[in-house]
Structure 1
Amino acid sequence: MKNKPSILFIEPRADNLNIFSRYNLPRLGTIILATIMRDKGYDARVYFIHEKELEKMDTQCDIAAISTITATAPQAYRIADYFKRLGKTVIMGGPHVTFLPEEALEHADYVNLGEGEESLPLLVRAIEEKTPLRDVPNLAFIQNGEMVCTEKKPFSAPLDTLPFPDFSLLDYGKQNRIRSRVLKRIIPIQTSRGCPYDCTFCSVTGMFGKRYRYRSTESVLAELERYNPKNDKIFFYDDNFAANKKRTKELLRAMIDRGFKFKWSTQVRSDVAKDTELLELMYQAGCRILYIGFESVDPVALEAMKKSQTAEEIRNAIKIIHKYGIFIHGMFIFGFDTDTKPSMRSTIRFAIKEGIDSAQFMILTPLPGSDFYHEIKNSGRIFSTDWNSFDAHHVCFKPKNITVHQLQLMQIEAHTRFYSPWNVFLKLFRNNMGAFIIGVYAHKINQQWQKMERYYLEALEAVSRKIGKHEEASAE
């Protein structure tokens, strides 16, 4: 009997330096796919590496399956080229190549479009048995010099049918141990997919759809049973953990009844604060950190991005969530067409004044698959063709009311002010040790980033003089 082909799953590790650089948390999709293929009898391994480490890794395989987001696409393409030179079959997947398959096929033999849990096994079997590729859904490939895209078929199986990710397929202990007061692994667990909202800057609905799908409570509890709260912390990987509040409460009550002692974190919208029963259950079940996309406090910007919230609602949410003893990591975005220096500085002052524990101020990024990408591309406002810069920390399009250099400086100013020595010291004075530790680290990262990117900042200033703003208007 012929041996099944061996598959090497690779996810490039990003270059960028930011507050989360120390959290080497691979996306779950890659590990779940590897687990599926392993369970089907294939030799599957996972590497979460930088391309510089290629020479040190075991590259023996028949198929290289490479996943990428936009910011790691150039590196992923170089890794694909490397394996092509070795004579391997290369499959690419992930959000970036799903929306730009023609670009990816310059480096890969096949591109899996969208979710791959059903289509990847069919593709590998077609390669193995040399059967027609057109019978494989969600696939792009080149035939007779033309790109062929097969039938688009959404992933329809219940999420409970997916296996639990087997982290032993990668060196998870070494790659995902963070330095904190208590050394623990961060275990990602996904309980749902999709998002019922449709923010203009987000590509989640383009990748997973607006239909909110979730696992059964028993399935999530069974996965939690695999881990040890003494060694592991949980990060619920959902794009919006509380999108269906009734279902979320059911899960939380079951976690409490089961007596789990995990400390965990997750992403939610600020509207969780409108349901105090939900917050009480979250804390009792072990929630200690919430990552919340506040985005802005400017009402015009919030309306433009289809974010149905107000500055007053954000302020109330912060107060209420803090009453339940939950740490808030606030995320803000600069660069909307309505943004000016005064409006962005208002957001910075708000974040400091309202006592958010930690914060990220990101630059609006036109990610392929988002409404914003199509809008900006069609209007000719994208000036950078380097996907590395599409990481929410570099400016890659022409803003409307300020120059590209001014927008970058506003992001630097935001982190400099929020993580100033005085503000960081106040966290310690108020006995907020977690925020103090993160603040010290973030202050250092901000200084390092400016030092590392000084040539980029000089180049960006030159670009600003050349291209100006999208529409000339007073920025001061």
Structure 2
Amino acid sequence: METCFRWNKKNAYSLAALAPLIPDALRVKSPHEGIMIYSFASRQAESVFKEVADSSTNSIFISGGPHPSGAPEETLQYFDYVVVGEGEETLPELVRTLKAGTDVSKVRGIAYRDKDGNIIFTEKREAVNLDDYPCFDPNILMAPIEISRGCPFRCKYCQTPRLFGGKVRHRSIDSIVACAKHYNDLRFTSSNALAYGSDGIHPRLDKVEKLLSTLHQMEGKTIYFGTFPSEVRPEFISNESLEIITKYCTNTKLSLGAQSGSDRILRDILRGHTVDDVVRSLELCFEHGLTPVVDFMVGFPDETEEEQDMSLELIKWICKKGGHVHSHYLTPLPGTPYADVKTAPVSKRFRKVLGKMALKGKVTGSWE
């Protein structure tokens, strides 16, 4: 029985991490006979479900990733098995079990339907040690190096702490260096790059500098730290942290999450910082010659037009200072406290002003 990963550009990062665990698996662009493995987020869910539903292959369909983990019941309407949460240990064991024809109920960390149609959740699996697993596939080198996993903040819109837990785990410097040998441009994933080596709340800039100085000593490497697909939290930005980045890194931009210009909204979503924290961090970026790329969201439950105007004024100030903004409409994600909320409408003023700024190239994203 062949095992296949469903390949597309949007799941490349997941595939790069999972493919080395099942080295004989094929990479296909449509359903294939045998075991079919999918990893996808909520924005891809509709098209993935349709593909599986329309498939005429004799396949066992396995899914994992943000959407299946957050909405296993929905996913099991189309898939045979869901890997809930981290897949490094669960997925290979599930594949081996299916090929051997043995009892899947013994595989921890999955959901499936029994012969009576009841949804079964097996025992939850412990969090993995990142050093135990490669963070790249030598044939998919576009994937960034995952340096940390998990987040202690419980932002209501975010799946990260629900998927990976509130305790931050870090890949060791030796493990990161081993991965970095395969790259020229070094890019990273983390919920907060400047939290490397810390508990995720209290910075350990000594460990951040140790990581970056070690990588900087590697010949022929360029380092991009705190840029997409990673970002940094505003309260972690200081003169010291920015001096470390400008000393060792190539990037002249820094990605950070502001999310709103309203302190009430920030408190309600459990963001863990204030508008003043955002402004202070941005001023420091400008002082150190780094262009901030700032994320905003709009459409939070009960968000008023006045609060959207607060975000709008902050966005205008950022762009006037030379920063860049990425804004998007809130997507309620499964498995989060906002999974079933009613989002607030976007005001005409917000749409009009951001539309004009987008035409000038100062703002990207979608806020409809």
Q: TM-score, normalised by structure 1?
A: 0.68
Instruction: Give, in whole Å, the separation in 1 of the partners of 2:276 and 2:357.
Output: 20
Matches within 5 A, 1:87-98: 87-98=58-69
Answer yes or no: is 1:310 the counterpart of 2:274: yes
1:471 corresponding residue in structure 2:
none
**Aligned match of 2:5:** 9
Q: How does 1:219-298 map to 2 (within 5 A)?
A: 219-228=175-184, 233-243=185-195, 244=198, 245-246=203-204, 247-258=207-218, 261-264=221-224, 265=227, 266-274=230-238, 276-286=239-249, 287-298=251-262
Q: For residues 83 and 62 of structure 2, what CA distance do their matches in structure 1 show?
A: 7
2:106 to 135, 138, 162: 135
Name the CA shift for 1:69/1:104 in 2 (closer, same or farther; >3 Å): same
8 Å Cα contact 1:66/1:93 also seen in 2 = yes
Check conservation: 1:11, 1:68, Cα contact below 8 A: no
Mapped partners of 2:45, 2:356: distance in 1: 32
Question: Which residue, out of 32, 39, 42, partners 1:67?
Answer: 39
Which of the numbers 6, 15, 18 marks the counterpart of 1:30?
A: 15
| Match in the other structure for 2:354 | 415
Unaligned runs of 5+ in 1: 13-23, 48-53, 173-185, 382-396, 425-438, 450-456, 458-476
The Cα RMSD (Å) is: 2.5
SS of equivalent to 1:205: helix
- 3-state secondary structure, aligned to 2:4: strand
The 8 Å contact of residues 117 and 155 in structure 1, kept in 2 or not, is answered as no
Task: Report the equivalent of 1:359.
Answer: 325
**Greater C-alpha radius of gyration:** 1
Contact between 1:33 and 1:117, CA under 8 Å: does it hold in 2?
yes
Q: 1:189 aligns with which of 145, 156, 174?
A: 145
Q: Give yes or no for contact 1:290–1:327 (8 Å, CA) kept in 2.
A: yes
Residue type at the aligned position of 1:30? L
1:77 aligns to what?
A: 49
**Other-structure match for 1:121:** 92
Q: Distance in 2 between matches of 1:312 and 1:152?
A: 40
Per the alignment, residue 336 of structure 1 pairs with 300
Offset, 1:135: 0.5
Q: Name 2:121's counterpart in structure 1.
A: 149
Runs of 4+ in 1 over 4 A off after TM superposition: 408-411
Give 1:256's aligned amino acid: H
Q: Which runs of 5+ in 2 are unaligned?
A: none
1:59-96 C-alpha deviation (Å, 9 max, x unpaired)? 5442110111111111111222244x211111011111
Percent of aligned pairs sharing the same letter: 25
Task: State whether residues 308 and 347 of structure 2, in contact with CA within 8 Å, keep that contact through their aligned partners in structure 1.
Answer: no
Mapping for residues 361-400 of structure 1, pairs under 5 Å: 361-373=327-339, 376=341, 381=342, 397=343, 399=344
Counterpart selection for 1:45 from 27, 40, 43? 27
Q: Flag the structure with higher helix content.
A: 1
User: Does residue 211 of structure 2 align to residue 215 of structure 1?
Assistant: no
Kept in 2: contact 1:361–1:414 (CA 8 A): no
Quote the residue 1:162 is aligned against: 133
Give the deviation of 1:259 after TM superposition: 5.0
Distance 2:302 2:77 in 1: 38
CA separation of 1:102 and 1:309: change in aligned 2, threshold 3 A? closer
The one-letter amino acid paired with 1:43 is A
Q: Which residue does the alignment assign to 1:436?
A: none
Deviation at 1:304, TM superposition (A): 0.9
Aligned equivalents of 2:105, 2:148: Cα separation in 1: 30
Tell me which moved more, 296-305 or 341-350: 341-350
How many angstroms apart in 1 are the aligned matches of 2:277 and 2:285?
Answer: 12
